[in-house]
Amino acid sequence: MKRIILSILCFLFPLLAAAQASPMRPPVTQINPTVLFNRVEREIKKQVSQQNSPFSRAQKALQDVIQKNPIKTISWKEFEALNNRAKERELASRKMDLKLAQQQLTANKGKIAFQNSWPDYMELLKGFTHIYIGEDHGTMSTPAETIRLLQALRKLHPNKRILLASEFSVAKELDSFPLAQANEIHFLTNLYPEVNQAADALNIDQLGLDSRYVSWEEDGHGPFLLIQCGKYLVKRYLTRQEEADIQELYPVLEMTLGSSPFGMLERNRQWERYIKAVQPFYDIIVIYAGQGHLVNTLSNDLPSLLDTPDFVNLYFIPTEGTNPDEEQTYISVAENTDRQNLGVLEQSYELQDQTEQVLLDKMEMSGEWTDPKKPFWGKVNSFFPLYNKNIPGKEVIIYLPLTGVKMPAVQQPPASPVIKKPKNPDSLRYGNSYI
């Protein structure tokens, strides 16, 4: 407070002194001390208000969390060891998921009546403070429908503080801050710029959840990539052939690491830390991410990690085909994952299939998709109480038609530059694919 008063007085007093020290100038009206005091008091209140705003306090809380979890560099071998542990954890989690699902099999069946219409999001989102949007990557219909949802949410809550926490927004530099106030989204790189601009127009703050840093460097042992995953920088040395094929290799390595059992768990943990830090300062939080982060393993997914008192989980399932270039990237990642033995244990896949079948057996579904130009959707009680009865959320499954909400016209971001080996270690590159 003293600093604020001094800064204002230091600005005002030289002006008054200059006026008194110039007798040759025309006389000026003397400033009433009371008027001066009132001006100073108003400026102090304005600056104090800005410092104590919910956004400023959210910034401070998030900064504290980031400082308590500094970035750590690990070798590729250390990553592989952590990934093996994550595989075992995921296997244990899926065994627990199946056991709990089987215990619930004898309970009353749930009913899900599908409707062939455009969902009324103002009705669906009532009463929820945490709204999860899960997507299949590489289509246009899901981000387009997400814009429609955000518009309805703002109509439903015209005066509430809303935050969009998105996997598809990242800070522009390694040490940049991932929380951006409305009208400041230029501080973030957005893989779905239309969604971010729509949120901005609706006065919704935005939190970049993911880390997409990749740097190509060299030391006494040879060239290497640094790839960020949560609070870790994984160091991967390159062979001569890999260095020659760096443009094709680095996005595949980045996605391989990020989609590994360790990568998924570590990224979810980072997202959990970020969201928990800022959620006291917002009335409603919308979490937009791939479905793998929301429904992959019940005990390790974001709704369970966050343990929120209420939530609605919307699964957007597009019927359109995936972008061919995106599809090819996923094929390359799958091949690389198998070759390096970095994927989920085979038994985990089997347990996941069994659990999904048990949960489906608990459902009685009805409805018919007669109009393919409209979505086919239904809602049901969340499956997460199988693991944690403290989060009795709702699930909404939405099959999107080929013709849905049109994307608004926006200026597309510039294409990602071709990376070159730097003269210094400050070369940054952020991905344009989704994990």
Read off the tokens for 196: 């971010």
- What pTM, to 2 d.p., does this model score? 0.80
Report the DSSP beta bridge partners of residue 29.
Answer: none
pLDDT digits (tens, 9 = 90+) for 185-235: 887 888 888 999 999 999 999 999 998 888 899 999 999 999 999 999 999
Read off the tokens for 301: 């997914």
Q: How many CA atoms lie within 13 A of 364 on its CB side?
A: 5
Read off the tokens for 270: 């980072």
Q: How far is CA 417 from CA 229, 298, 413, in A?
A: 21, 38, 12
pLDDT of residue 170: 85
Q: How far is CA 42 from CA 12, 32, 35, 38, 137, in A?
A: 14, 16, 11, 6, 50
**Burial letters for 84-123: b for 16+ Cβ neighbours within 10 Å, e otherwise?**
eebbebbbebbebbbebbeeeeeeeeeebebebebbebee
pLDDT of residue 420: 44
pLDDT of residue 15: 33
pLDDT of residue 46: 47
> In sequence order, what DSSP letters do the residues of 18-41 get, joined into one string?
HHHT-TTSPP-PPPPHHHHHHHHH
Whole-number Å distance between alpha carbons of 128 and 135: 20
Q: Domain map of the chain by residue range?
A: 83-210+246-400
Number of H helices, E strands in the chain: 14, 16
Whole-number Å distance between alpha carbons of 27 and 109: 88
Whole-number Å distance between alpha carbons of 316 and 78: 36
Q: Which residues of the chain register pLDDT less than 50?
A: 1-29, 43-49, 410-432
Q: Count the neighbouring beta carbons within 10 Å of the beta carbon of residue 252.
A: 20
pLDDT of residue 76: 95
